[in-house]
Amino acid sequence: VLTQSGTLVVARLPVSAQTARGGIEFDSAWPVRCIPAGTAHGGISTQGGVAFHAGSKSYVAATSSPEPFYIREPNPDIAFRQATEAAEAAGKPVPAPRTVIPEYQRHDLRTTSVPPLVPRFSIDLLSPETFETVDSYMLDVHEHVAAMQTLELESAQAEGGSRALVCVGTGFVLGEDVMSRGRIYVFDIVDVVPLPGRPQTNRKLKLLYTEEVHGVVSAVGELRGNLVMSEGSKLYVRSFANDTLTSFAFLDCHTWVRSAVGLRNFLLVGDVANGLSFVGFQEEGPARLHVLGRDAHACLPIECADFLVLGQQLQLLAADSHGHLHLFVYAPRDVHSFGGQRLLRRGEFSLRSRVVSLRRIIGSSRHVCLAMTFDGSVHAVSMVPEKTYKRLQRINGQLAKAVPPIAGLNPREYRAVPLHRRQNQAPKRTVLDADLLVPVYTNGSVVRQKEAAQRDGTTADRVLKDIVETE
């Protein structure tokens, strides 16, 4: 480290991530802190993942642990007798005669001493100080977490009229011959008296509401302070009042909703088999959802979607299951959109890894989306003004030819969508690659910076200012 006085100081870090819990590893591209999360689980769900509760500064994780799997009792008579005996032992009403007990309510049939293992999911509350599990809510057998988010829902009991609640959508995996079911959970994180000697246990999960629905709840979102949830191929808007969810608007979707993101009175719906839909929400009069525009081809397997905002401009960002980003725009005055019924494509960009989540960071005049992928990388996507884009695009084209690429690889083709997945209507070269432009103007040769800027009729300081404003 070179100090301001001109002294060169050589220091050594005392611990690393491999030798201490919570240590920081500085040898990677950016500092990484490896923290063993939880205390007794086998893994974190790839669908629900982790949600952050800003009010308590705690983390909620959808975790799983292996447990033995047994088939259910196939004989309906034996299942009825077992259910009757269990109800009598528990002091509950016995089922009516000749009642067919559903398969998910039947007892296990232990046919082997070495059964296979299946995941048993739970909702764990992690301490923000030690990241250990301080509270847990165990889900039912064969109930998988499909979606989990922290949403700001309207509440008359809270200050400001809204409060942050953890909403969890689940689905039961019982085989293709059993009708799918799901549940919606609404949790709050409350303060409690901690255990003696364990001050980190001062918070608990409080279940406010749960309901079983006729379909897997594969997506949850927020729209004007209301909960948006998918139930199979339907999308519902539900208000949360008096610790109860009440539906007041719905929309019939295509196949399987994987993403539902709201912004003011607009909703962006991503389907795993039928592309992207831009939906409007009408509050006045009878509340309803109506589709404003759809992807013309409706063939993209959408994993997640979100909005990009720059001032008064709005674009739609969608990530498919192949690791490609797609940009759309809703332009009802454009003749090619047929009055807005079709969403116009504005660009494609390949990340070379499947996107698992999109998170929008809200600024004063710009909303930036962070794309997290399976390989652990994080990509930032944002809109830039047209003048800035044209200037950086010309310089980016020069650097693609002038800078020797790594191992002789083509930097443009690396970010291009493969031909067999490329859409003909998508404009070419509408997305800037900061990995090519930023290193030259932050750590590159000053002479090369000035030459590239002079060929474009500008200065290196102007280009560097554009890069700083964009980031």
pLDDT tens, residue by residue, 127-160: 888 888 899 999 988 899 999 999 999 887 777 7
Q: CB burial class (10 A; 0-12, 13-18, 19+) of residue 115?
A: middle
For the packed helices 446-455 and 386-402, what is the interaxial angle rounded to 10 degrees? 120
Give me the residues paired with residue 281 across strands: 289
Query: What are the phi and psi torsion angles at 443 (to 5°)?
Result: -125, 0
* One-letter amino acid of 284: E
Q: Indicate the angle between helix axes 434-443 and 446-455, nearest 10 degrees.
A: 120
* Percent residues over pLDDT 70 in the chain: 92
What phi and psi, each to the nearest 5 degrees, are found at residue 194?
Answer: -70, 160
Closest CA to 46 of 115, 162, 147: 147
The sign of the dihedral angle between the CA atoms of 420, 421, 426, 429 is: negative
Q: Residue 116 burial (CB < 10 Å; 0-12/13-18/19+)?
A: exposed
Q: pLDDT (tens digit, 0 to 9) for every residue of the chain, 471 residues total?
A: 778 788 888 877 665 544 444 567 777 677 777 776 666 655 666 556 889 998 888 999 998 888 888 888 888 889 899 999 999 998 888 888 888 888 778 888 887 788 888 888 999 998 888 888 899 999 988 899 999 999 999 887 777 788 899 999 999 887 777 778 899 999 999 999 998 988 888 999 999 999 999 899 999 999 999 999 999 889 999 999 888 999 999 999 888 899 999 998 999 999 988 889 999 999 888 899 999 999 877 678 899 999 999 988 999 999 998 899 999 999 999 888 888 899 998 888 888 899 988 999 988 888 999 999 988 888 999 999 888 888 888 888 888 777 777 777 787 788 888 877 776 666 666 788 888 888 888 777 888 888 888 888 888 888 888 888 877
Tell me how many degrees the CA angle 394-398-404 measures, rounded to the nearest 5: 150
DSSP secondary structure, 217-273, as one string? ---EEEETTEEEEEETTEEEEEEEETTEEEEEEEEE-SS-EEEEEEETTEEEEEETT
| Tokens 């032992």 -> residue | 89
Q: How far apart (Å, rounded) are the C-alpha atoms in residues 168 and 45? A: 12
Which one-letter amino acid corresponds to residue 131?
F
Say if residues 274 and 296 touch (Cβ distance below 8 Å): no
The DSSP letter of residue 285 is S
Residue 63 burial by Cβ neighbours in a 10 Å radius (0-12, 13-18, 19+): buried
Q: Which residues fall within 8 angstroms of residue 408, CB to CB, at 6 or more apart?
A: none
Could you tell me the strand order of the sheet in which 226-231 lies? 220-223, 226-231, 234-241, 244-252
